[in-house]
Amino acid sequence: MALNYGFFKELVEAIGPSGYEHDAVEVWKKEISSVAKDVSVDVVGSGIARIGAADGLKVMISTHIDEIGYMIRYIDKEGYLYFEPLGGVDRHVMPGNRIAIKTRNGIVRGVIGRKPIHLIESKERDAVSQIQDLWIDIGAASDEEAKKLVSIGDCAVTAVGYEELGGNKIIGKGFDDRVGVFVMTEALKVLSKSTLAASVYGVASVQEELGLRGARTAAYGIDPDIGLVVEVTFATDCPGIDKRKIGEVTLGKGPVIARGPNIDHKLFEDLVAVAEKNAIPYQVEGIGHPTGTDANVIQMTRSGVRTALISVPNRYMHTPVEVLHKDDVENTVKLVTAFVETLKR
């Protein structure tokens, strides 16, 4: 399957942490507009595109376009910037990161600094860095100089690009959940060439990392019959992860179909049947609690929505070096496409 990885690269490298997703949504709108005439952005900023039957069964393919990042809170007299996280940033890997700050004047570069290891008390060396003990250095010599470049409330992300690793893997930031947006977009491209009985809504939701906010409002507005969430999940094929607690998910072995109370049992069975019929490799993940994805709020929208969750295995989630396998991405597109094509009026 020939997917447009150039679009994925552009999407991943767009700055769009929770609450500041506009640039990433614009990248997505430009791509999806080639196949969907009905493209809009709702009040909170989520992108919504529709294809298929005008009055058919309504299917919402939900993905979230926001990424984790930072927001500038304070600028001190020496021109250093202090910040707070937007979403669940891993504090273990924050010091030393290069940073891209989105400002009214364009992108400002910086680095997250802290005291050198030599000057840290021995009892603190093994502790996780506290946010208040870190700062962003943009090379300014004073607060006056810094404030000409950066404003309170500006957002920032780790300045890491998209790279290929070992031929069939990809590394970069923000795969949670830009890969879901990519899968949804590529699936809609394929589905747009079919005569569908369903009315299919592709949603690039915002502020997922701050409490599933965009999916909540989008689902209320669409009022879908079926909610299909495309996300990432933890690949457990790396050292230190206890599979007895998390389950077994392996990079390269296919999309992960979730099963549990947040998932409609019939939809789970249907997804498995579609995968097996089309010889699409898949894995199963048991989740005995709310999944922490857009599926949570979609399932409980209005009088309830039949909801399913498909995930792409992802190593090192919420760090600047997340890892995906291209085979998993492509097989997730195949599964989403084949499933939607089975839906009847």
CATH code: domain of residue 23: 3.40.630.10
Computed from CA positions of residues 234, 181, 230, 185, in that sequence, does the dihedral angle turn out positive or negative? negative
Among 158, 188, 213, residue at a domain's last position: 158
3-class DSSP assignment, residue 11: helix
72 assigned to some structural domain: no
Output the domain CATH number for residue 128: 2.40.30.40
329 assigned to some structural domain: yes
Mean pLDDT in order along the chain per 10 residues (345 residues): 93 97 98 94 98 92 98 97 95 92 96 82 76 95 97 97 91 96 98 93 97 97 97 95 94 98 98 98 97 97 97 96 97 98 85
Does 208 qualify as catalytic in the annotation?
A: yes
211 assigned to some structural domain: yes
Of these residues, 13, 21, 186, 208, which one is catalytic?
A: 208
Number of domains making up the chain: 2
pLDDT for position 345: 62
| Residue 151, CA distances (Å) to 148, 278, 323 in order | 8, 52, 33
Q: Nearest Cα to 235, choosing from 244, 247, 223?
A: 247
CB atoms within 10 A of CB 194: 12
> Domain range spanning residue 112?
78-158
pLDDT for position 128: 81
pLDDT for position 183: 98
Which residues fall within 8 angstroms of residue 172, CB to CB, at 6 or more apart?
A: 12, 13, 160, 161, 162, 163, 320, 321, 322
The answer to whether residues 68 and 16 touch, using CB atoms and an 8 Å cutoff, is no
37 assigned to some structural domain: yes
Q: Nearest Cα to 187, choosing from 35, 47, 14, 12?
A: 35
For tokens 């404030």, the residue is 147
Q: The whole model's pTM is what?
A: 0.95
Q: Nearest Cα to 160, choosing from 30, 312, 27, 318?
A: 318
pLDDT for position 92: 87
